[in-house]
Amino acid sequence: MKNNDVTIPNPENTKDKIKIILVLAMPAVIENFFQTILGFVDTYFVSKIGLAEVSAVGVTNALLAIYFALFMAIGVAVNVRIANFIGAKQPEKARHIAQQSVILAIFFGILTGIITMFFAEPLLKLMGIEDNVLEAGVIYFKIVAIPSVFMSLMFVLSAVLRGVGNTRAPMKASILINIVNGVLDYILIFGFWIIPEMGIAGAAIATVVSRIIGSIALFYYIKRSPVLAFRKDYWKPDKQHIRELVTLGGPAAAERLVMRLGQIVYFGFVVVLGTNVFAAHQIAGNVEVFSYMIGYGFATAATILVGQQIGAGNICEAKKYAVLCTGIGISLMTILGVLLFTLGDLVGSIFTNDPEVIENIGTSLKVSGVFQPFLALQLILTGAFQGANNTKFPMYLTAVGMWGIRTLLVYVLGLQLGWGLLGVWIAIGIDIAFRAVVLTIQFTRGKWISVNKNPEDESHPQTSKETISGCVNNY
């Protein structure tokens, strides 16, 4: 098995640049696909136990999303910093900060596990669930989240590998854990041979075991990496690198939390429209998630490529890669948008026979199809901003978009004007378009890179306003 670390070359040929982008993006797209499938498999098997169990898993996942935000933020930070150091030809610093991120992941994984151990029931009660759902939820939540350290490690170790341009290893680990989880779901939920039927506890155990195996696999890939292979003397906590990770990752965590809280609020508005309308909204969202796979895949490539070029001081090359990643992503997601627009009703009929629900699903997907190019812009440019060490601006923009536009317009268009689900999805689309346009303006003006205000700080890419402005008018 060959090593998949990628030290990004700097070809002049646009065709070669596109090849590099695809080599990085496609494994990330496939990884996102399998992660989505994992959710579908879990939901399918748990649905065979009962609706209370389905609700318990759903509510638990809403709480776990807060944990995910924290772990993903560490991942974003270490991904960017490793890419910077690789671009600057400082592999030992990349290795060192990688190990510091693992220390941070273990710390927060244990911390969230302890919180779950003592406060699982009170946290679930805050969600306002019924007693029969609460009992199942506590069982599932404790089993899945007390060993949160493996959840945290999977997020961070995958990000570490992506930082050196290795997107294949996280993809392989994702495929592995999906296979393990699917097999164990069936065996542990329903029982097999001498293994007793465990119900929802079996589903939780399957998830944990798959995460443990995934963490071991990712450690294996890191051990085989000539750049990342961990050193014993790097396990001592380093305040400077940990502070870097927290400073860079903090805004990314805040951005995801702002998104999650906003979703909870406007979901409440959709619920007011009726059970069938909410069901249509959820189904349409589950279909639309496939478009996010493409966006996040090319956003991953943009973060890696921009991060490495910024680290090397090649600001203009960083911008070229950002433009190419965005252009390819827009092209692919526009094609997907056409499919969503034309096949929305047909897709709805796969999930239900209710004509009203099918019509609502079709309407939602038509609106989603129209806004797909803007979604590509928003997701991929956010990845480029993060690669340029700028995590604060996307956070501020998400807060404004989610609370000042999306949530407000869902209420006005969906409820007050009586447009129903059409109004909800138009509101979502307007928020996406707003953020895409603002990110594009900032990008074209050269205000997408975090400027190093301390030239003596060698840990930060040496970018200045002068070097950035030199590339502003090139595109």
Domain boundaries, the chain: 13-237, 244-469
Quick one: pLDDT at residue 437?
96
Q: How far apart are CA 318 and CA 428, in angstroms?
A: 30
> What residues are paired with 192 via a beta bridge?
195
**195: β partners:** 192
Q: pLDDT value at position 11?
A: 66
pLDDT of residue 461: 53
pTM confidence score:
0.82
Closest CA to 156 of 86, 230, 88: 230
pLDDT for position 254: 83
- Specify the pLDDT at position 14: 83
Q: What is the pLDDT of residue 471?
A: 61
Count of residues in the chain = 475
- Residue located via tokens 């252009």: 327
**Distance of CA 404 to CAs 266, 273, 375, 411, 435, Å?**
12, 21, 18, 11, 12
> Residues near 422 by Cβ (< 8 Å), separated by ≥ 6?
363, 364, 367, 413
Burial 86-118 (b: 16+ CB within 10 A, else e): bbbebbebbbbbbbbbbbbbeebbeebbeebee
Residue 463: helix, strand or coil by DSSP?
coil
Q: Is 134 exposed, middle or buried (0-12, 13-18, 19+ CB in 10 A)?
A: buried
Q: Name residue 346's amino acid.
A: L
The predicted structure's pLDDT at residue 40: 64
Stretches where the chain sits below pLDDT 50 are: 1-3, 454-459, 462, 466, 474-475
Q: According to the model, what pLDDT value does residue 454 have?
A: 47
Computed over its alpha carbons, how large is the radius of gyration of the chain? 22
Distance in angstroms (rounded) separating the CA atoms of residues 119 and 114: 8
> Rounded to an integer, what distance in angstroms lies between the CA atom of residue 449 and that of residue 281?
37
Number of CB atoms found within 10 A of residue 63's CB: 18
Residue 432's pLDDT is 94
